[in-house]
């Protein structure tokens, strides 16, 4: 599902114009990104948590030059789904073989 699909579905379900829904979705994503960029976690009860994880400095390897490199410590965005969300997905999604 793409962002356009999400906007279309919300528009159909709420009766709001797609342009209004698009502005709302864009504003939500901008707020989420800005909050996480400043190190602030975002918690959505019943859905999940968008958290900033810290990765420690580590030693890596550049295999093309066969040399050791230092990968500096850095922050990465992460999503942890709520238990309710995980259970709903487990119960509704059929396993593809």
Say whether pLDDT at 93 is over 90: no
- Please give the helix or strand (H or E) that residue 6 lies within, else none: helix 3-14
Neighbours of 7 (CB within 10 A): 20
The architecture of the domain spanning 41-97 is Irregular (4.10)
Say whether pLDDT at 17 is over 90: yes
Neighbours of 68 (CB within 10 A): 9
Instruction: Give the pLDDT score at 4.
Output: 95
Instruction: Give the pLDDT score at 57.
Output: 94
Say whether pLDDT at 69 is over 90: yes
- Answer yes or no: are the C-beta atoms of 38 and 19 closer than 8 Å: no
User: Which of these, 63, 80, 62, lies nearest to 71 by C-alpha position?
Assistant: 62
Instruction: State percent of the chain over pLDDT 70.
Output: 96
Domain boundaries, the chain: 1-39, 41-97
Instruction: Give the pLDDT score at 92.
Output: 83
């Amino acid at each position: 599902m793409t962002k356009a699909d999400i906007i279309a579905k919300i528009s159909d379900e709420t009766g709001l114009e797609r342009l209004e829904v698009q502005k709302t979705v864009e504003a939500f994503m901008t707020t989420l990104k800005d909050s996480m960029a400043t190190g602030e976690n975002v918690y959505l009860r019943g859905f999940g948590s968008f958290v900033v994880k810290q990765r420690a400095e580590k030693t890596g390897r550049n295999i093309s030059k066969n040399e050791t490199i230092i990968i500096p410590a850095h922050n990465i965005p992460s999503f942890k789904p709520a238990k309710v969300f995980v259970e709903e997905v487990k119960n509704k999604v059929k396993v593809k073989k």
